[in-house]
Amino acid sequence: MNNHTTIQNLNDMSLVLDTFMNEIQDETEVKLHAVNRDFLNDRKLLAIKAGAVAMHHFNVLARHLNNKDSVHKVAYLNVSNSLHAKKAIDALPEELANSIRFDYLDISEHEFNDVDIAIRLAKKNRVEHLDLSDFKAVTSEQLNQISQIQSLRSIDLSFCQFEPSALSYLSNLKQLHSLKFVGCRQMTDNDLEHLKNLKGLKTLSLKDCMQVTGKGFVHLTPLDQLQHIDLSRCYQFRDEGLFHLAKHNQLQSLNLSWCQLITNEGLAHLASLWQLRSLNLSRCKKITSEGLRFLPNLALIQEINLSQCNLVTDAGLKHLENHTYLKTIFLNDLELITDRGLWYLGRHTHLQDLRLNFCRKISDKGLSYLSPLAHLQVLCLNGCSAITDKGLKHITKLTKLEILFLSRCKKLTNRGLMQIRSLKYLRILDVFLCDKIANNVRRHLKEVMHLQNIA
């Protein structure tokens, strides 16, 4: 869709309103012309994303919606990054409140700092999801006001400055199920105590909260509904935190990326998380193959990320061989993984996504072990410099493959690459910096295979 979109007929209006969130970029200017009242009365507005929409265009829309007999549901209102955000938000309660109801309010990353406007909007429209990320400051009184919006189900306070003790006000929100504190570096372990009464909480993100060590998770033990926890880039997080996390036996996803102080001893505590589906241990530099021996107890695990766990060897992958539900495995930059490790991976017959970027000891022989992966859709082999045309022949047996990354595999030739023509579902191919692959071969493959993209 062009950056300047003119809505001149009902079909255009339908297209824009039904796909606003996904299709319209922040810089898009939307001009509303010839939008008749009958059409708007008959349709539910799914989304309004302001972007750089001028105040004039809000007024145009407001006039067409100003019908007391019609209530329009706007599922998502985003006025982030708007050059006219303050004027737009000020106007909406006066001109649109009686005709529009929305449940998701995103006014993050704007150029003004007025949380009170957001609170007023959220109260009036019974908002369920409130995104205040990147506000410079949220006062204790404002958090108290937010706690009175009983419709709220999720709050995003990422990168906000606030007094952590004021989080205790949120205990009033009995229906709250999601909290995000990404980049709130003022938060410590002691501050987690203020969340202990949020017993309906299912999702908690403390990503990049660099003072959190995990000791404070003892306060969160009463939160027995927690299902998703993100602790990525909590550089001070330690094994003690995993001991407390292990008490949350409803946990389904756990992100520990960049928690570089975690050891094998800490992983032993995870063995009790029998409902875990997704585990991210990428860049946990102290984890070794020995630590992975505790993972077989996670019988339902579907996704695991061990990228840049540089001490993991083929022996570690052997501990994963009985995980029959595994669909996604990330093993990027594991320089100790060899063809033997791929033999273990070949036993995961339900695997759909396998990332082996820069595993430089993988050869053509190793790729032959992947042939049983009949459901594999994504295979990433960037920087696997030992792979040759012979290896591509083995890849052609992965008949469901849709995405194939081979950049920096410098031994591949034009003749070898032509073998992949048999992959009828392939849509994306990356052979960037494969010096022996000619541009005309790339163009030919894109044409005959109907590739969406080739690099």
Per-residue pLDDT of 289-317, as tens digits, reads 999 998 878 889 999 999 999 999 999 99
Predicted confidence band at 24 (pLDDT cuts at 50, 70, 90)? very low
Mean pLDDT of 172-177: 93
As a whole-number percent, the residues of the chain with pLDDT over 70 amount to 75
Report helix, strand or coil for 14.
helix
Q: Would you say residue 88 has pLDDT above 90? A: no
Predicted confidence band at 117 (pLDDT cuts at 50, 70, 90)? confident
Q: Would you say residue 100 has pLDDT above 80? A: no
Q: Would you say residue 49 has pLDDT above 50? A: no
Domain 313-455 carries which CATH code? Answer: 3.80.10.10
For helices 115-124 and 85-95, what crossing angle results, to 10°? 30
Which of 71-80, 230-239, 355-364, 385-394 shows the lowest mean pLDDT across its residues?
Answer: 71-80
Are the C-beta atoms of 138 and 157 separated by less than 8 Å? yes
Alpha-carbon dihedral angle through residues 113, 119, 122, 127, given to the nearest 10 degrees: 90
Beta strands in 53-163 (DSSP E): 72-74, 76-78, 100-102, 104-106, 129-131, 154-156
Q: Give the pLDDT of residue 4.
A: 35
What Cα–Cα distance (Å) separates residue 244 from each residue in 49, 76, 180, 367?
41, 36, 20, 40
Q: Give the pLDDT of residue 201.
A: 97
Q: How far apart are the first and last CA of the chain?
A: 23
Which of 63-72, 95-104, 408-417 shows the lowest mean pLDDT across its residues?
Answer: 63-72
What Cα–Cα distance (Å) separates residue 430 from each residue in 34, 403, 451?
45, 8, 11
pTM for the full model? 0.82
Q: Give the pLDDT of residue 103.
A: 60
Q: Give the pLDDT of residue 375.
A: 97
The set of residues, in sequence order, having a beta carbon less than 8 Å from that of 11 and lying 6+ positions away, is none
Structure tokens at 338: 């060899």
Q: Would you say residue 155 has pLDDT above 50? A: yes
Predicted confidence band at 323 (pLDDT cuts at 50, 70, 90)? confident
Give the separation between CA 184 and CA 178, rounded to whole angstroms: 16
Are the C-beta atoms of 405 and 377 separated by less than 8 Å? no
As a whole-number percent, the residues of the chain with pLDDT over 90 amount to 66
Predicted confidence band at 3 (pLDDT cuts at 50, 70, 90)? very low
The average confidence (pLDDT) of the chain is 81
CB atoms inside a 10 Å sphere around CB 166: 18
Which of 8-17, 336-345, 443-452 shows the lowest mean pLDDT across its residues?
Answer: 8-17
Are the C-beta atoms of 99 and 124 separated by less than 8 Å? no
Q: Would you say residue 354 has pLDDT above 50? A: yes
Give the separation between CA 162 and CA 421, rounded to whole angstroms: 57
Which of 63-72, 345-354, 419-428 shows the lowest mean pLDDT across its residues?
Answer: 63-72
Q: Would you say residue 213 has pLDDT above 50? A: yes
Q: How far is CA 230 from the centre of its chain?
A: 11
Structure tokens at 201: 């909480």
The set of residues, in sequence order, having a beta carbon less than 8 Å from that of 95 and lying 6+ positions away, is 58, 59, 62, 66
| Share of the chain residues as helix, strand and coil, in percent rounded to the nearest 5 | 35, 15, 55
